[in-house]
Amino acid sequence: MNETPVKQQSTAAFYGQAVASFAVALAATAIGIVRLDADSWVRAFLGIAVLYLVTSAFTLAKVIRDRQEEGRIVSRVDQARLEKLLAEHDPFEKL
């Protein structure tokens, strides 16, 4: 059988950079909304819209990741079935 491919994991620095980038972007947006020269209902609407956008982005990322992982699992099962068939096949059986 083929060896299982090594699962690539992100480094701690990449993880930290991603978290910091998200925090800075969210904080900058929140500060921009708070300092906006508009009525409070406009700022509240924008705040809710940003929260909805963030949760939708997380959901979309999870769905994409799940679909990609499902494709890998199906591919590995198909590969295992093929290898089993090839291992059991005896070309000299009918001779």
> What is the pLDDT confidence band of residue 1, given thresholds at 50, 70 and 90?
very low
Which pLDDT belongs to residue 68? 83
Is 73 or 27 the better-scoring residue by pLDDT? 27
* Each residue's pLDDT tens digit, 26-63: 999 999 999 999 999 999 999 999 999 999 999 999 99
Spatial neighbors of 36 by CB under 8 A, at least 6 apart, are 42, 43, 46
Q: How far apart are CA 35 and CA 29, in angstroms?
A: 10
The DSSP code for 2 is P
Which percentage of the chain shows pLDDT scores above 70?
88
Which pLDDT belongs to residue 88? 78
Is 79 or 62 the better-scoring residue by pLDDT? 62
Residues in the chain: 95
Q: What is the rounded average pLDDT for all residues in the chain?
A: 85
